[in-house]
Amino acid sequence: MGLAISVLVIVLLMGSIFWVMPSAAQKRVMNLRQNALSMGLRPSVQRITRIREPGESEVLPQSLLLYSKLRQQTCQRMTWQLERREGFDPVTGVNGWFWKDKPAELAEKDETHLREILSQVPASVDLVLVSSMGVSLHWNEKNPELLSEINRLAESILAKL
User: Is 17 a domain residue?
Assistant: no
pLDDT reported for residue 93? 64
Question: What does the pLDDT look like over 53-79, one tens digit per residue?
Answer: 766 677 788 899 999 998 877 666 667
Q: How many structural domains comprise the chain?
A: 1
Average pLDDT over residues 26-37: 91
41 — pLDDT class (breaks 50, 70, 90):
very high
What's the mean pLDDT in 10-18?
83
Beta bridge partners of 69: 135
φ and ψ at residue 28, rounded to 5 degrees: -60, -45
Q: Which pLDDT does position 89 carry in this prediction? A: 64
Please report whether residue 18 resides in a domain: no
DSSP for 95-160 reads EEEEEES--TT--HHHHHHHHHHHTT--TTEEEEEE-SSEEEEEE----GGGHHHHHHHHHHHHHH
Quote the CA–CA distance of 157 and 161 in Å, as a whole number.
6
Structural domain that includes position 80: 24-160
Question: How confident is the model at residue 31, as a pLDDT?
Answer: 92
The pLDDT of 131-136, averaged and rounded, is 87
pLDDT of res. 68 = 93
Strand, helix or coil for residue 53: coil
pLDDT value of residue 91: 62
Q: What is the pTM of this model?
A: 0.78
Residue 37, H or E segment:
helix 24-39
Is the residue at 3 inside a domain?
no
Task: Give the angle 152-86-119 at the CA atoms, nearest 5°.
Answer: 30
13 belongs to a structural domain? no
Which helix (H) or strand (E) is 81 found in, with range? strand 80-89
